[in-house]
Amino acid sequence: MENHLRRQEVQLALRTGSGIATRISATIHKKLIYYCETLKMNGRVVGFLRFALFRPEFNQKMSAVLGMILRLNLILFFTALVGVLIYVSWINYHIKKLRLHLLEQKKTEYRQGLPRQDFEELDRLASEVNIMAEKLNALLQELKQEKLQLLNIFNTLGEGVAAFDARGLAIVFNRSFFRILQLEESRIQNQPYYDVLRFPPLIQDIENFLSSGQTVKTRSKYFRDTYIEYEILPLKSAEKQPGCFVLVVRDVTHLERLETIRTDFVANVTHEFKTPLTSIRGYAETLQSGLAKTPELQEKFLSKILNQTLRLENLVRSRWLRK
């Protein structure tokens, strides 16, 4: 044992707990691999476990072990790879399934909601989407109600209003626009303004507005006995596209009729007042000049003036008070 304590594998075992060394055996004169491990009791070394293997046998066994480890690693690698591919395919299947559900819900404006998903994370995502869809639907309903209210207000306006984009196509319009301009609603769909409007002065004013950018407001006789007043304004939008405009149209036929009545009335009253006023002026100038020298002639002229004054008073009563 004294001789074995100095062996390399024993010294390594004393220091580290185990040791291994390769050398030629003095007994059989062959290269051996020696392995030694200490035996302890209560923390003290009480012996050694030591054995030797022939080098070719060890190499063969190690090659076999390494080959087995390599094969096992390859099996584990390909098994893990197949598992990952299956897992990824399974996730992709559920993602595609969720995507199809989303596309179906989009057609119904997300009213039905997404079904439960087999994959936990996707199920949580579907729940979040359903919550967002409920909020979105509520918001859409509010917007639809507001849009309907605004549209009703827009259609109750007495003025005809239409907005056109840079291509000259109508963006929005109300019912009064068709009524005043005597148009058919089907004519304005996807048609430029110069094909919709049938009034050359209005089309020319739009062209002038587009070239100058200056607001246009004018009154003109329309078809038959109708009169319109239209105003062309720039359309202020978030995109700030040039060439967009708003056309506001008013039916002023009744105003033109009132103006005609007023003009005729003034002309008639002026004509009827002119004769007695002329007579009064003539008699007054004669009296002022002293040509009527006799009391009888002066009395006659004063009677004429009084009669013409009474005539004017009767005209006022018959015309103005009756009106």
Question: Which residue carries 């004509």 as its tokens?
Answer: 271
C-alpha distance from residue 180 to each of 28, 105, 215 (Å):
126, 43, 21
| CA 98/CA 117 separation, integer angstroms | 8
pTM above 0.85, yes or no: no
| CA 144/CA 155 separation, integer angstroms | 16
| CA 162/CA 197 separation, integer angstroms | 12
| Class at the top of the CATH hierarchy for domain 1-92 | alpha beta
Domain 158-251 part of CATH 3.30.450.20: yes
C-alpha distance from residue 250 to each of 84, 178, 239 (Å):
73, 11, 28
Instruction: Give the per-residue pLDDT at 92.
Output: 82
Candidates 54, 21, 59; CA nearest to 37 is: 21
Q: Hey, is 234 helix, strand or coil?
A: strand
Q: Which amino acid, one-letter code, is at 236?
A: K
Instruction: Give the per-residue pLDDT at 111.
Output: 60
Quick check: 140 and 111 in contact, CB under 8 A? no
Q: Which amino acid, one-letter code, is at 160?
A: G
Q: What Rg value do the Cα atoms of the chain yield, rounded?
A: 56
Q: Report the b/e string of 182-201 with b at 16+ CB within 10 A.
A: ebeeeebeeeebeebbebee
Candidates 255, 257, 251; CA nearest to 160 is: 251
Look up the CATH number of domain 257-321.
1.10.287.130
Instruction: Give the per-residue pLDDT at 229.
Output: 93
Per-residue pLDDT of the chain (323 residues; tens, 9 = 90+): 446 778 888 888 888 888 888 887 777 777 788 888 888 888 888 888 887 877 666 566 667 777 888 888 889 989 999 988 888 887 788 778 777 777 776 666 666 667 777 767 777 777 877 788 788 888 888 888 988 888 888 888 889 999 999 888 988 889 899 888 888 877 787 888 888 888 899 999 999 999 998 999 999 988 888 899 999 999 886 566 788 999 999 999 888 888 888 887 777 777 777 778 888 888 788 777 877 778 888 788 788 888 888 887 887 777 655 55
Quick check: 235 and 244 in contact, CB under 8 A? yes
Quick check: 106 and 134 in contact, CB under 8 A? no
Looking at 213-293, list the stretches that DSSP marks H as alpha helix, in order from N- to C-terminal side: 253-289
Greatest Cα-to-Cα distance within the chain, rounded to the nearest angstrom: 190
